[in-house]
Chain A
């Protein structure tokens, strides 16, 4: 058995032991206080940062709400304008199915065909003048 163990066991050196551990405990307590203070400061800084970010977001949201309101007003204004214009200036021309599927002209580039078509036209012109 060691000397300290012996002293504790026997109760002889109890006071001595507490006195010997006191400076260590003091240092430990002070260290804890310092760490706590530093931690508290850091948390407070983070809080401030969050508040700033939150303020910025609030401003941005408010800006968007304002912009949305302005755009809604503009849309309403334009819709009113169209409804007043439609009956007077926009004519509704119906697009027929025939016109959509109508085959476009494919003028021939074949010279012999063109010559034959020219001859047909000439014959038809002569037919009308005869």
Chain B
């Protein structure tokens, strides 16, 4: 007898997360590394490396980040890389899948991803998936926590920040906003700011990411942030407390403005309820004090209440999986 497995996927710019109906949770970097030359190909014995494996061997690889801007880059290599990532993630999640078993998947994409980029995902996955559902990432987050009443989902990813206004029914286009102010933007801003103050220091995207994830904050006050960086190979301690705060505010300010705009254009009778139900998800929700910062930005509107979601990494994929499991069979048949 064949089985039908259900999978929810959050295809992210930096990380892709997957949750299956068999209880698996897998997360990997959304990148593929191709050997630079014949020597590296011989060393790895493979045509490509994926995720963290690729990142750890990046010096010998040509790295492809297929979702660098939040959506699939439409060049051939990026499309191929996205297919490889999804195929391997699914194979890893369902190692015992039999030939006659079926896989039904819901994939979360940015709220305002183009029709073309959604079609690309369908095209590259139809050879190894039986049913594919494309859903909004922010809506997946709302679905995972069963919040369909008046609330505002703010999903801060690496490539995009998705905002989705929920009001008890399917969100319309005007209820959703996608911003390009997200994790990658913050990385660039931090890099520039550090190099401006300490032009000699050696930085890589991985160093910046580590600094951001460990020390990123938007409080008014903070413990001094001292990091060890190298200048021409010599390690030294650098104080980046002020730099980091200024940079993080450059990310949270446009997000706060987008929140204010979505609230201001909502039914006035429900604006207060919306202000008091702001849910922050995604990797960006780990910035220390981001909930307080958003609440402060709403003070002139009468205040608000923001909270960061607990399972920031998997909430999108779990929401997508929940949709799959709760979907009636005849609905699937329509796809």
Are A128 and B122 touching (Cβ within 8 A)?
A: yes
Give the shortest distance, in Å, between B218 (CB) and chain A (any CB).
Answer: 33
* Interface class of chain A by DSSP: helix
Chain B contacts for A118, CB-based, 8 A: 331
Are B135 and A107 touching (Cβ within 8 A)?
A: no
Convert A98-116 into 0s and 1s, putting 1 for each residue whose CB lies closer than 8 angstroms to a CB of B.
1101110111100011111
Q: Which of A37-45, A46-54, A76-84, A119-127 contacts B (4 or more CB under 8 A)?
A: A119-127
Are A117 and B96 touching (Cβ within 8 A)?
A: no
Give the shortest distance, in Å, between A91 (CB) and chain B (any CB).
Answer: 12
Query: Does any Cβ of B come within 8 Å of A96's Cβ?
Result: yes
Query: Does any Cβ of A come within 8 Å of B221's Cβ?
Result: no
CB nearest neighbor in B for A101: B22
Query: Does any Cβ of A come within 8 Å of B60's Cβ?
Result: no
Are A103 and B148 touching (Cβ within 8 A)?
A: no
Chain B contacts with A in 287-335, Cβ cutoff 8 A: 323, 325-329, 331-332, 334-335
Contact of A115 among B4, B97, B101, B170 (CB under 8 A): B170
Are A117 and B21 touching (Cβ within 8 A)?
A: no
Are B5 and A130 touching (Cβ within 8 A)?
A: no
Count, A-B residue pairs, CB within 8 A: 85
Are B115 and A106 touching (Cβ within 8 A)?
A: no
Contact of B327 among A99, A103, A107, A122 (CB under 8 A): A107
Are A103 and B169 touching (Cβ within 8 A)?
A: no
Given A112-B148, A117-B323, A103:B21 Cβ within 8 A: yes
CB nearest neighbor in B for A107: B328
Given A99-B96, A102-B5, A121-B133, A113:B335 Cβ within 8 A: no
In the bound assembly, the distance between CA atoms of A80 and B273 in angstroms comes to 76
Contact of B96 among A98, A124, A125 (CB under 8 A): A98
In the bound assembly, the distance between CA atoms of A122 and B5 in angstroms comes to 22
Are B22 and A124 touching (Cβ within 8 A)?
A: no
Are A125 and B335 touching (Cβ within 8 A)?
A: yes
Number of residues on chain B facing chain A (CB within 8 A): 35
Are A107 and B335 touching (Cβ within 8 A)?
A: no
Chain B contacts with A in 194-229, Cβ cutoff 8 A: none
In the bound assembly, the distance between CA atoms of A108 and B148 in angstroms comes to 14
In the bound assembly, the distance between CA atoms of A115 and B171 in angstroms comes to 12
In the bound assembly, the distance between CA atoms of A105 and B329 in angstroms comes to 9
CB nearest neighbor in B for A121: B331
Query: Does any Cβ of B come within 8 Å of A90's Cβ?
Result: no
Given A106-B325, A107-B327, A96:B98 Cβ within 8 A: yes
Query: Does any Cβ of B come within 8 Å of A97's Cβ?
Result: yes
Given A99-B3, A127-B134, A116:B169 Cβ within 8 A: yes
Give the shortest distance, in Å, between A125 (CB) and chain B (any CB).
Answer: 6
Chain A contacts for B323, CB-based, 8 A: 117, 120
Are B96 and A115 touching (Cβ within 8 A)?
A: no
Query: Does any Cβ of A come within 8 Å of B94's Cβ?
Result: yes
Chain B contacts for A123, CB-based, 8 A: 134
CB nearest neighbor in B for A105: B325
Query: Does any Cβ of A come within 8 Å of B118's Cβ?
Result: yes
CB nearest neighbor in B for A98: B96
In the bound assembly, the distance between CA atoms of A11 and B5 in angstroms comes to 124
Are B23 and A103 touching (Cβ within 8 A)?
A: yes
In the bound assembly, the distance between CA atoms of A123 and B200 in angstroms comes to 52
Chain B contacts for A120, CB-based, 8 A: 133, 135, 170, 323
Given A98-B5, A98-B97, A116-B170, A125:B326 Cβ within 8 A: no
Query: Does any Cβ of A come within 8 Å of B233's Cβ?
Result: no
CB nearest neighbor in B for A130: B115
CB nearest neighbor in A for B168: A112
Are A127 and B96 touching (Cβ within 8 A)?
A: no
Are B326 and A106 touching (Cβ within 8 A)?
A: yes
Chain A contacts for B6, CB-based, 8 A: 103, 105
Give the shortest distance, in Å, between B75 (CB) and chain A (any CB).
Answer: 22
In the bound assembly, the distance between CA atoms of A99 and B329 in angstroms comes to 19
What are 13 A-B pairs at a CB distance below 8 A? A98-B96, A101-B22, A102-B5, A102-B21, A103-B325, A105-B325, A106-B325, A112-B168, A115-B169, A116-B170, A120-B170, A121-B332, A125-B335
Cβ-closest 10 pairs across A and B: A96-B96, A108-B326, A103-B21, A98-B96, A119-B170, A99-B3, A116-B170, A121-B331, A107-B328, A98-B22
Taking Cβ atoms with an 8 Å cutoff, the residues of A that contact B are: 96-99, 101-103, 105-108, 112-125, 127-128, 130
